[in-house]
């Protein structure tokens, strides 16, 4: 599994949104994720209160030292939603995207999880 992070912002945006410890001169952040694995859950589509549609699914990736990691994915664009919705359980895919941490309120308080937002999905 390869994970790298990206975003290119001008110095004014950095000063407004970055933590106070971040330098204001330049932002070298990178949020690009490349994953290759097999589909472990059939995609589900949800409509949010805003009217936006999102397709969620999961892949598994073998660790070099043994075992597997499962990765939650979200597809927001029409193209990636269509592709994700047509994937079959066990199908091998290559994913490009970026990692995001989602927060919500649960019965136990504030909860979060990491997800990869897909920008491209390729069947292998």
Question: 3-state SS string over 25-71?
Answer: CCCCCEEEEEEEEEEEEEEEEEECCCCCEEEEEEEEEECCCCCEEEE
What pTM was computed for the model? 0.74
Per-residue pLDDT at 76: 97
CA atoms within 13 A on the CB side of 121: 30
pLDDT per residue as tens, the chain (124 positions): 444 444 444 444 444 455 666 667 888 999 999 999 999 999 999 999 999 999 999 999 999 999 999 999 999 999 999 999 999 999 999 999 999 998 988 888 999 999 999 999 999 9
57: three-class secondary structure by DSSP = strand
Distance CA 5, CA 99 (A): 7
Which domains are seen in the chain, by residue range? 34-123 (2.40.50.140)
Per-residue pLDDT at 17: 54
Query: 123 CB contacts (<8 Å, ≥6 apart)?
Result: 87, 91, 92, 93
Per-residue pLDDT at 20: 62
Per-residue pLDDT at 7: 41
């Amino acid at each position: 599994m390869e994970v790298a992070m990206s975003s290119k912002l001008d110095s004014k945006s950095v000063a407004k949104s970055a933590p106070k410890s971040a330098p204001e001169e330049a932002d070298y952040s990178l949020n690009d994720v490349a994953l290759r694995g097999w589909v472990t859950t059939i995609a589900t589509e949800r409509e949010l209160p805003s009217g936006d549609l999102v397709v969620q699914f999961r892949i598994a990736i073998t660790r070099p030292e043994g075992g597997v990691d499962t990765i939650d994915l979200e597809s927001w664009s029409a193209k990636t939603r269509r592709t994700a919705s047509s994937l079959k359980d066990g199908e091998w895919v290559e994913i490009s995207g970026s990692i995001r941490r989602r927060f919500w309120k649960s019965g136990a308080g504030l909860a979060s999880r990491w997800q990869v937002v897909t920008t491209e999905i390729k069947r292998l």
